[in-house]
Amino acid sequence: MRALAVLLALCLLALAMILLPQPAHAGTFAVFQERFEGDWPGPWLVGDDNLSAGADYWGVTTHRDSQGQKSAWAAQEGTNNKTGLPNALNHRQDDSMDAYMRVDLGDLSGNNALSLSLEYWIESGSGDVFSVRVSDGQTWTTVWSLPGPVAQGWTPAETPLPLSTRFLEFRYLTAASHVDEYEGVYVDRVEVLAEDANPPSLAILSPIHDQWTGSKDVVVTWETVDTGSGIAFVEVRIDGGFWVNMGLATSLLVQGLAEGLHALDVRSVDKAGNQALQSIDFGVDVTSPSIVLLGPPEGSVVTSSSVELTWTAGDSVSGIAYYEVRLDSGPWMRVEPVDSFVLTGVADGSRRVTVRVVDLAGNGAETSLAFRVNTNPLHPEGPAHGALLYALVTAGALGLLVLLHRKGKVDLGKPWSRIKTLFLRRGPKGGKSS
């Protein structure tokens, strides 16, 4: 029954995943915005490519606006070809204008789509053309144009731009006969939108996934790169808590972490809202392991050049990684996690052995003990405990006594007679008589 319910729930979930719209990853963001309310010309480059009626070109005016108080008018700069008075005095375009205003949008590569939106106000005649052009830095292309005659109030327009777009230009061309006839064109609310469907790349550089660290203070570092809109901000979260907005920083010092395992999430968000998430686990262990040497006993004499060391050790939190053994001031020898080790070729004399234990976080502890090695068979401490030496000394002494006895210098008395009878039996005394 329960299995059936689980199966039904899974089927419903699968159905919901098919029917529900998948979340859109693509995001649209503004690459460039201009309301003509600030400093002029700002980033714009302005000019007139037809100087036969003088230089007449774009500038900012308060005469008309779509948003705010100002807009850009194609004949704001320059003088009337008939009167020599400023165009702005009667708000009339001049003849023979080829006025442009141009802006560098920067590197827009890596985006999935680009578009332009604007609002314009126009009153123009036959032969006048208002157009939008873009360039990749090499070639200019007209992407939108409005040939005269037109007369209308503020009107929105929108056009896609090639992905290679780098420069944007508004151009207003007037016929040679159109001095004073029309008001021309105004532009406001210019916006270039980019669509970035590519999430950033993201890598947590430290701490390392599944590794232990021996400090409660951990430096989290990451690397994130985005194509398209660029990184908006990075967020960091420890153990599923609150996301902390790190802006464009690339590291965070997390202090006072508890011992044990932790979960780390780093999220990078680009300006179009695309996200990249990376999660790792790491551990904190600041508790050193413990170790006790069991053998050989402290101060003991070892009668072999092979010395077996035994110990017992333990570690809380991360566990033991390995041991190291050192004889006197010699090099450390790494020993995998076992609890004994045989030192071979140990020379006679007083020796000190040190054993170090290291846990997975790199915390270490060590202990040492002294012992003596004596492999001399003649030495009382040696392997035969001096038995050979005693035997040699005794045999030598006996031989000397017998020699002295024979030469009459020592009388070994009755005990000697008995020994002689028993062990040194010779022919009968006075054998000459027979």
Which residues of the chain form contacts with Ca ion (CB under 5 A)?
A: 35-36, 53-54, 56, 65, 67-68, 70-71, 78, 81, 94, 188, 196, 198, 226, 228, 270, 274, 285, 287, 315, 317-318, 359
Please name the residue that has the structure tokens 């159109």. Answer: 178
Least distance CB 297 / Ca ion (angstroms): 28
Question: What is the rounded distance in angstroms from the CA atom of residue 174 to the CA atom of residue 57?
Answer: 11
**Rounded to 5 degrees, what are φ and ψ at 391?**
-65, -45
Strand-pair category, 364-373 with 301-302: parallel
Least distance CB 50 / Ca ion (angstroms): 10
**Rounded to 5 degrees, what are φ and ψ at 3?**
-60, -40
Using only C-alpha atoms, the chain has a radius of gyration, in whole angstroms, of: 50
Least distance CB 345 / Ca ion (angstroms): 34
Strand-pair category, 349-359 with 244-245: unpaired
Least distance CB 286 / Ca ion (angstroms): 7
How does DSSP classify residue 152? E
Mapped onto helix, strand or coil, the DSSP state of residue 393 is helix
72, 155 Cβ separation under 8 angstroms:
no
Question: What is the rounded distance in angstroms from the CA atom of residue 310 to the CA atom of residue 341?
Answer: 7
Least distance CB 288 / Ca ion (angstroms): 6
Question: What is the rounded distance in angstroms from the CA atom of residue 396 to the CA atom of residue 24?
Answer: 105
Residue 339: burial class (beta carbons within 10 Å; 0-12, 13-18, 19+): middle
Please name the residue that has the structure tokens 């319910």. Answer: 5
The Cβ of residue 135 has, within 10 Å, a number of other Cβ atoms equal to 17
**Residues shown for the chain:** 434
Q: Which contiguous run of DSSP H or E holds residue 12? A: helix 2-19
Helices (H) and strands (E) in the chain, counts: 4, 27
Please name the residue that has the structure tokens 């896609």. Answer: 160
Q: Which segments of 63-141 does DSSP mark as H helices, in order?
A: 87-90
Strand-pair category, 211-213 with 275-284: parallel
Please name the residue that has the structure tokens 């003649």. Answer: 378
Comparing C-alpha atoms, which of 125, 278, 96 is closest to residue 202?
278
Comparing C-alpha atoms, which of 92, 120, 119 is closest to residue 183?
92
Nearer to Ca ion, 228 or 296 (CB): 228
How does DSSP classify residue 109? T
Residue 82 CA from chain centroid, whole number: 69
